[in-house]
């Protein structure tokens, strides 16, 4: 009498076991990538907590993959950790964001030491975020150290590839000005912000649609730095330029740029008041108040 036989199990067939393991790995890769995309979609939809959960799942999958194949998947793990830090910060979980970003920095530092051309840009991105997150937690000296390192790395990258890396250098210089200002080092903050303005002005001349918002942001900070140093007329000029740029931006996209315009008008009013130009100060301040009231009304249910 013939008896039926079971097919060999994966455990008994090394080739089949390898194929099954490869399929499981590819499935985990696809799922992790889908979770990253889902997290971004949820973020854009204004659902921050769900965006965090999706990114946490992606990190867990990438961590398992990196544990099994570190050379292949550690870069993916660092990318997920970097984005998890962003999502956590957006959801108000600053301490958790810092922990994720610190891990991303540690892993990317090791990668950049082994392969600097491939991973130094990613290390600089995480260091830039690390400075922002430490600053939000009031750790200003630590924030400054991280941002200074990001600037140094991005300066080298911009020297080698200015077209690709100059926008990132300008961003880190802008952040460096913020970090120095938080420590009341206003002369140093001014130098960093002036360099950011100079770079962003050149970028905005070449690609105004892309870089005008960033130029306006650095001009706004420049006005604040100059005001702190008592250079009131220079502060007014910088803030006036920020107002002009943001007024144009707000005309095109009021829902995005009107709050920035209101902030610039508020500072312009303060600068004009300090200069004794009281009627102009009143007009700027009244416009800022009107814009803010209008924005509040549009946000009411």
| Domain that residue 130 falls in | 54-183
d(CA 214, CA 225): 17
Total count of domains within the chain: 2
Examine the domain organization and report whether 64 and 115 are in the same domain.
Answer: yes
Examine the domain organization and report whether 62 and 173 are in the same domain.
Answer: yes
Alpha-carbon distance values, 42 to 47, 50, 69, 158 (Å): 5, 7, 29, 33
Examine the domain organization and report whether 71 and 160 are in the same domain.
Answer: yes
Average of pLDDT values for 32-55?
Answer: 97
Percent helix, percent strand, percent coil in the chain, to nearest 5 = 85, 0, 15
d(CA 195, CA 202): 11
- Long-range (24+ apart) CB contacts under 8 A made by 64-69 are 64/28, 65/25, 65/28, 65/29, 65/32, 68/25, 69/25
- Long-range (24+ apart) CB contacts under 8 A made by 48-53 are 48/87, 48/90, 48/91, 49/91, 51/87, 51/90, 51/91, 52/84, 52/87, 52/88, 52/91, 52/93
Examine the domain organization and report whether 110 and 165 are in the same domain.
Answer: yes
pLDDT in tens, 165-193: 999 999 999 999 999 999 999 999 999 99
Examine the domain organization and report whether 279 and 171 are in the same domain.
Answer: no
> Does the structure show a pLDDT above 80 at 2?
no
pLDDT in tens, 111-123: 999 999 999 999 9
What percent of the chain is modeled with pLDDT above 70? 90
Lowest mean pLDDT among 7-11, 56-60, 166-170: 7-11
Examine the domain organization and report whether 230 and 262 are in the same domain.
Answer: yes
Average of pLDDT values for 1-23?
Answer: 58
Give the Cβ contact number of residue 127 at 10 Å: 25
- Residue 300's pLDDT band (cuts 50, 70, 90): very low
Residue 246 within any structural domain of the chain: yes
Examine the domain organization and report whether 126 and 166 are in the same domain.
Answer: yes
d(CA 202, CA 268): 24
Residue 191 within any structural domain of the chain: no
**What's the burial of 160, exposed, middle or buried (CB within 10 Å: 0-12/13-18/19+)?**
exposed
CATH code of the domain covering residue 84: 1.25.40.10
């Amino acid at each position: 009498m013939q008896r039926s036989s079971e097919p060999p199990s994966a455990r008994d067939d090394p080739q089949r076991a390898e194929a099954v393991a490869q399929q499981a790995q590819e499935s985990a890769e696809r799922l992790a990538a889908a979770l990253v995309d889902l997290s971004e979609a949820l973020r854009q939809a204004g659902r921050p907590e769900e965006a965090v959960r999706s990114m946490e799942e992606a990190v867990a999958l990438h961590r398992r993959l990196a544990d099994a194949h570190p050379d292949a998947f550690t870069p993916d793990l660092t990318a997920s950790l970097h984005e998890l830090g962003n999502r956590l910060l957006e959801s108000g979980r600053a301490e958790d964001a810092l922990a994720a970003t610190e891990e991303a920095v540690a892993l990317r530092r090791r990668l950049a030491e082994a392969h600097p051309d491939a991973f130094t840009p990613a290390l600089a991105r995480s260091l830039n975020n690390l400075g922002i997150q430490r600053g939000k937690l009031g750790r200003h000296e630590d924030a400054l150290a991280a941002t200074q390192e990001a600037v140094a790395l991005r300066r080298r990258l911009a020297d080698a590839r200015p077209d690709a890396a100059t926008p990132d250098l300008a961003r880190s210089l802008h952040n460096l000005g913020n970090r120095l200002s938080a420590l009341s080092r206003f002369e140093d903050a001014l130098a960093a912000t002036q360099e950011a303005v100079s770079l962003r002005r050149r970028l905005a001349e070449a690609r105004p649609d892309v870089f005008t918002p960033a130029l306006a942001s650095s001009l706004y900070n420049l006005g604040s730095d100059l005001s702190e140093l008592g250079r009131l007329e220079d502060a007014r000029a910088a803030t006036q330029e920020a107002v002009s740029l943001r007024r144009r931006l707000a005309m095109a996209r009021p829902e995005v740029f009107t709050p920035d315009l209101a902030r610039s008008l508020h500072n312009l009013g303060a600068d004009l008041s300090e200069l004794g130009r009281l009627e102009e100060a009143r007009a700027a301040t009244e416009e800022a108040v009107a814009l803010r009231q209008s924005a509040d009304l549009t946000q009411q249910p």
